[in-house]
């Protein structure tokens, strides 16, 4: 049975858009043919990630990494997990599974999904260092708002079906990165994003007052 490891690279955990994207793929793959493991990055891991967590990645045949863009790159918690995994493999003195496939799903608050390109280069470099096979990425503009319109966004649906089918077919065909631009006009998206930012700021201010 093929093993799949889902990595939620967002520090927001269960509230993250990244988890919604993971659940999309998980649903499309079903439960009969795969053994699945789920990892969520942590803000602080004083003793480092346990060997149990790192072995979930090592023993998998497929790794799916979902994360938000942070300062045009990966979130710090995800960077730490990947760095610790790299050192773990090197210290074990073993070679990675040469057929292990890696996929990425990245979203940002920006309208143009190509702003995520640099972060995908980091994932590719991680794969190259461990001889993993990077398949492709789904790059999403304005992730939270795109989720709101996913039921009428056919490109969104097609992208996730493409990723699931690639796993089912063992990644035989060459597939380029998939860019998902919000179906709403940029000016409207910017207005919505500004309002979301204001709401988040108000919540933070109330939290600090308490």
Instruction: For 35-69, give the DSSP string.
Output: EEEEEE--S--TT---HHHHHHHHT-SEEEEEEE-
Percent of the chain with pLDDT over 90: 53
Q: How far is CA 146 from CA 53, 65, 149, 154, 160, in A?
A: 31, 19, 5, 11, 13
Mean pLDDT for 64-78 is: 91
Residue 70 lies in a domain: yes
What distance in Å separates the CA atoms of residue 83 and residue 86, rounded to the nearest whole number? 5
State how many domains the chain has.
Answer: 1
Residue 88 has pLDDT above 90, yes or no: yes
**pLDDT attached to residue 170:** 85
What distance in Å separates the CA atoms of residue 193 and residue 109, rounded to the nearest whole number? 7
Domain hosting 179: range is: 2-184
Residue 196 lies in a domain: no
CATH number at residue 160: 3.40.50.360
Residue 99 has pLDDT above 80, yes or no: yes
* Greater model confidence, 32 or 158: 158
Residue 202 lies in a domain: no
Residue 38 has pLDDT above 60, yes or no: yes
Residue 207 lies in a domain: no
Residue 99 lies in a domain: yes
**pLDDT attached to residue 104:** 98
Mean pLDDT for 121-140 is: 95
Q: H helices then E strands: how many in the chain?
A: 7, 6
pLDDT tens sequence across 137-169: 999 987 666 666 665 567 888 999 999 999 999
pLDDT band at 30 (very low <50, low <70, confident <90, very high): confident
Residue 201 lies in a domain: no
Residue 2 bridge partners (DSSP): 34
**pLDDT attached to residue 85:** 95
Residue 53 lies in a domain: yes
Residue 66 lies in a domain: yes
DSSP secondary structure code for residue 184 in this structure: S
Residue 194 has pLDDT above 80, yes or no: no
Mean pLDDT of the chain: 86
């Amino acid at each position: 049975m093929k093993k799949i490891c889902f990595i939620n690279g967002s520090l927001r955990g269960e509230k993250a858009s990244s988890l919604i994207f993971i659940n999309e793929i998980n649903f499309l793959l079903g439960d009969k043919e795969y053994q699945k493991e789920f990892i969520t990055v942590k803000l602080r891991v004083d003793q480092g990630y346990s060997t149990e967590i790192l072995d979930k990645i090592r023993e998998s045949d497929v790794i799916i990494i979902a994360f938000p863009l942070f300062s045009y790159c990966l979130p710090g918690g995800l960077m730490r997990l990947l760095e610790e995994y790299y050192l773990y493999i090197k210290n074990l003195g073993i070679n990675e599974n040469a057929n292990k496939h890696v996929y990425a799903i990245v979203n940002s608050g920006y309208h143009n999904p190509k702003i995520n390109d640099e972060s995908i280069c980091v994932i590719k470099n991680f794969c190259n260092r461990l001889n993993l096979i990077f398949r492709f990425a789904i790059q999403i503009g304005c992730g939270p708002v795109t989720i709101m319109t996913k039921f009428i966004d056919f490109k969104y649906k097609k992208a996730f079906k493409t990723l699931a089918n690639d796993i089912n077919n063992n990644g035989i065909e060459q597939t380029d990165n998939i860019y998902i631009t919000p179906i709403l006009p940029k000016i409207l998206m910017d207005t919505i994003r500004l309002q979301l930012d204001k709401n988040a700021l108000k919540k933070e201010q109330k939290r600090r007052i308490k």
